Amino acid sequence: MASHTVALDGEAHAALKAMKGRDESFSDVVKRIAKPRKSILDLAGAWKELPAADRKALEAYYAQMEEGSKRRARRSA
């Protein structure tokens, strides 16, 4: 595989280095952060095949989390 030299200023190098994992090369970091992000629309219908019992359990969990969030907001207001 061919390699290329890229010039970075100190701040850019430090930022890239901070994002670099222990077993990751700088090329790996650049590829990871440069890859296109998925659209939220890609998730549409993702739960379609989820069994009804599991879907209801998730809905109940999220409703409980939302209620807890509302209670905390009311207390801090």
Task: Look up the pTM and report it.
Answer: 0.48
Cα–Cα distances in angstroms (integers) from residue 29 to residues 21, 39, 48, 66, in the given order: 8, 21, 34, 35
pLDDT tens digits, 30-59 = 999 999 888 888 888 887 888 989 989 999
More confident call, 55 vs 10: 10
